[in-house]
Amino acid sequence: MDGQLGKSGEISPLSVPNYLFFFPESLHFLQKHPKAQFLPMEKAASIVFPGMERGTTVMLTDVMAEPVAHLQWERKLGSFRGSRRGPMVICIGGIHGNEPAGTIALKRVFEKLEDRPKDFRGELVGFAGNVAALSQGSRFIERDLNRMWAPDRMKTLHLENRQPLNCWEECEQKELLTVIEDALRRKTGPAIFLDLHTTSAPGVPFALVSDTLANRHLARRLEVPLILGLEENIEGTILNYINQLGYVAYGFEAGQHEAPESVDYHEAALWITLEAVGCLSRSHIPDFEHYQTLLRNAAPGLPQVMELRYRHAINPTDEFAMKPGFTNFTPVRQGQTVAIDRFGEVKAPEAGRIFMPLYQKQGEDGFFLVSEVKPVWLKVSALARRLHLDKLLPLLPGVSRHPDFENTLHVDTRIAKWYVVEICHLLGFRKQSTEFGVLTISRRKQHVKE
Ligand SMILES: [Zn+2]
């Protein structure tokens, strides 16, 4: 069906049930705009959010009521429930709208699951993250949906049920949150979250977790490089929010946005996860070995686990420009020039591997450095956490526990010895900020909610 705009921009009554007209710039703005009377905000909100019917067609319009995009409103990409109790696996694809590979992989998995209902334990659900941005192929419409999940904001989002929403992504977020919470209410076992992404530059797949043993354990099953410590240092991601709720979660970056392999890698990660958490046994997944081999061979020669060592924060006035030729995990020497800004050459403060070099205009991070965590240290850190050695941290020189938050420490860097921060890392304390010589270092909730 075509949109049925009259000459004056009016919507013919015929089109109302299936067509909704929005100005993508801002729903808030829509309320004030003279043409918005065609679709009052209250009406739009009640039809679209939450629970808009699957397959409903939405047309986004610009301020002149010219159509800019049509989309099938499909928040839910699929769900599959086994006859036996088991884990609830919740997957999100396309929380960035220019990253559709995860949504395609999820649909593939749901199609293949149709044939084998009996052997499945628990439930798999897949949701599209930013539906409107996906339909436009842009990262977001107004705001990055994967930077809006900070704890303070989430509190108000829950409280302000009837508040008008200020931008498109707030609507997306509210609906996404509703469907996630609905899924959690249905669960009959532990809940596990997967957040599927791709990158603008070509690269190998890797996984990201907040550094808890349960997250590490699951993500290592994928056998792609695992990055520790990044999640803790980017605020407002959906993974952070899920982690704070106490669920097991990992993020998976499959490679370049449009590369067909990215869909294959996502699909492999989904099947391997379903096996790892106990939804399906290996023998019930055709081609399981193929998926394993695919991921195992995807990043040859790279360390299995790397940790974030350095973040080069930038602001727009820095005129930061990365030197050409770096990709994820390119090795660099200490002192090597990796970028230029208005102060001159930007050098790597230590040896390691470049991670997420900035080659696009927008962004707050110029690049990161990561380096290998040797397997022996992974074992030491797992043992130290099982023995609850974190309780002894305040005995170290210069270290004190935050009076209110059990997962936060203060480290007086004038007193503490060089190894104190590394010991904190071993125990999962990776989020750092420094003020007046005192380092505040915190970690994600460590125990897992069933
Ligand atoms: Zn992304």
How confident is the model over 228-251, as pLDDT tens digits? 888 777 889 999 899 888 899 999
Residue 32 C-alpha to ligand 1 middle, in angstroms?
A: 32
Which tens digits make up the pLDDT trace of 145-192?
A: 999 998 888 887 776 554 556 677 887 888 899 899 999 999 999 999
Residue of 77, 79, 83 lying closest to 188 (CA atoms): 83
Cβ(57)–Cβ(19) below 8 Å: yes
Residue 139 C-alpha to ligand 1 middle, in angstroms?
A: 8
Residue with the larger pLDDT of the pair 414 and 304: 304
The confidence score (pLDDT) of residue 358 equals 87
Tell me the pLDDT band of 362, cut-offs 50, 70 and 90. low
Residue count of the chain: 450
How much of the chain exceeds pLDDT 70, in percent? Answer: 77
Fold annotation for 305-372: OB fold (Dihydrolipoamide Acetyltransferase, E2P) (2.40.50)
Residue 380 C-alpha to ligand 1 middle, in angstroms?
A: 32
Assess whether pLDDT exceeds 60 at residue 31.
no
Residue 44 C-alpha to ligand 1 middle, in angstroms?
A: 28
Tell me the pLDDT band of 99, cut-offs 50, 70 and 90. very high
Identity of the residue numbered 434: T
Residue 128 C-alpha to ligand 1 middle, in angstroms?
A: 13
Of 6-20, 46-60, 322-336, where does mean pLDDT reach its minimum?
Answer: 6-20
What value does the mean pLDDT take over residues 139-143? Answer: 83
- Surface-to-core class of residue 70, CB atoms within 10 Å of its CB (0-12 exposed, 13-18 middle, 19+ buried): middle
What CATH number labels 79-141+158-296? 3.40.630.10
What value does the mean pLDDT take over residues 421-436? Answer: 73
Residue 197 C-alpha to ligand 1 middle, in angstroms?
A: 4
- Please tell me the distance from the alpha carbon of residue 13 to that of residue 202, in angstroms, as a whole number: 47
The confidence score (pLDDT) of residue 279 equals 96
Residue 95 C-alpha to ligand 1 middle, in angstroms?
A: 7
Residue 9 C-alpha to ligand 1 middle, in angstroms?
A: 36
The confidence score (pLDDT) of residue 24 equals 39
Assess whether pLDDT exceeds 90 at residue 221.
yes
Residue 100 C-alpha to ligand 1 middle, in angstroms?
A: 10
- Surface-to-core class of residue 4, CB atoms within 10 Å of its CB (0-12 exposed, 13-18 middle, 19+ buried): middle
The confidence score (pLDDT) of residue 277 equals 96
- Can you give the residue ranges of every domain in the chain? 13-73, 79-141+158-296, 305-372, 388-442
- Please tell me the distance from the alpha carbon of residue 445 to that of residue 166, in angstroms, as a whole number: 31
Residue 225 C-alpha to ligand 1 middle, in angstroms?
A: 17
Assess whether pLDDT exceeds 90 at residue 396.
no
Assess whether pLDDT exceeds 60 at residue 52.
no
Q: Which of 4-13, 74-83, 115-124, 415-424 has the highest mean pLDDT?
A: 74-83
Residue carrying structure tokens 């610009």 = 62
Residue with the larger pLDDT of the pair 160 and 24: 160
- Please tell me the distance from the alpha carbon of residue 287 to that of residue 5, in angstroms, as a whole number: 50
Residue 96 C-alpha to ligand 1 middle, in angstroms?
A: 5
Cβ(76)–Cβ(111) below 8 Å: no
The confidence score (pLDDT) of residue 280 equals 95
Write out the H or E segment, with its range, that includes residue 112.
helix 101-113
Tokens of 30: 């829509």
The confidence score (pLDDT) of residue 189 equals 92
Average pLDDT of the residues of the chain: 79
Residue 251 C-alpha to ligand 1 middle, in angstroms?
A: 9
Residue 299 C-alpha to ligand 1 middle, in angstroms?
A: 19
Total-model pTM? 0.76
Task: Produce one character per residue of 81-104: b if its CB has 16 or more CB atoms within 10 Å, e if not.
Answer: bbeeebbbbbbbbbbbbbbbbbbb
- Please tell me the distance from the alpha carbon of residue 92 to that of residue 130, in angstroms, as a whole number: 10
The confidence score (pLDDT) of residue 119 equals 85
The confidence score (pLDDT) of residue 105 equals 96
Residue 273 C-alpha to ligand 1 middle, in angstroms?
A: 20
- Please tell me the distance from the alpha carbon of residue 436 to that of residue 438, in angstroms, as a whole number: 5
Residue 236 C-alpha to ligand 1 middle, in angstroms?
A: 13
Residue 111 C-alpha to ligand 1 middle, in angstroms?
A: 24
Residue 146 C-alpha to ligand 1 middle, in angstroms?
A: 8
- Please tell me the distance from the alpha carbon of residue 390 to that of residue 148, in angstroms, as a whole number: 31
Residue 304 C-alpha to ligand 1 middle, in angstroms?
A: 22
Residue of 65, 67, 27 lying closest to 48 (CA atoms): 27
The confidence score (pLDDT) of residue 195 equals 98
Assess whether pLDDT exceeds 90 at residue 93.
yes
The confidence score (pLDDT) of residue 439 equals 77
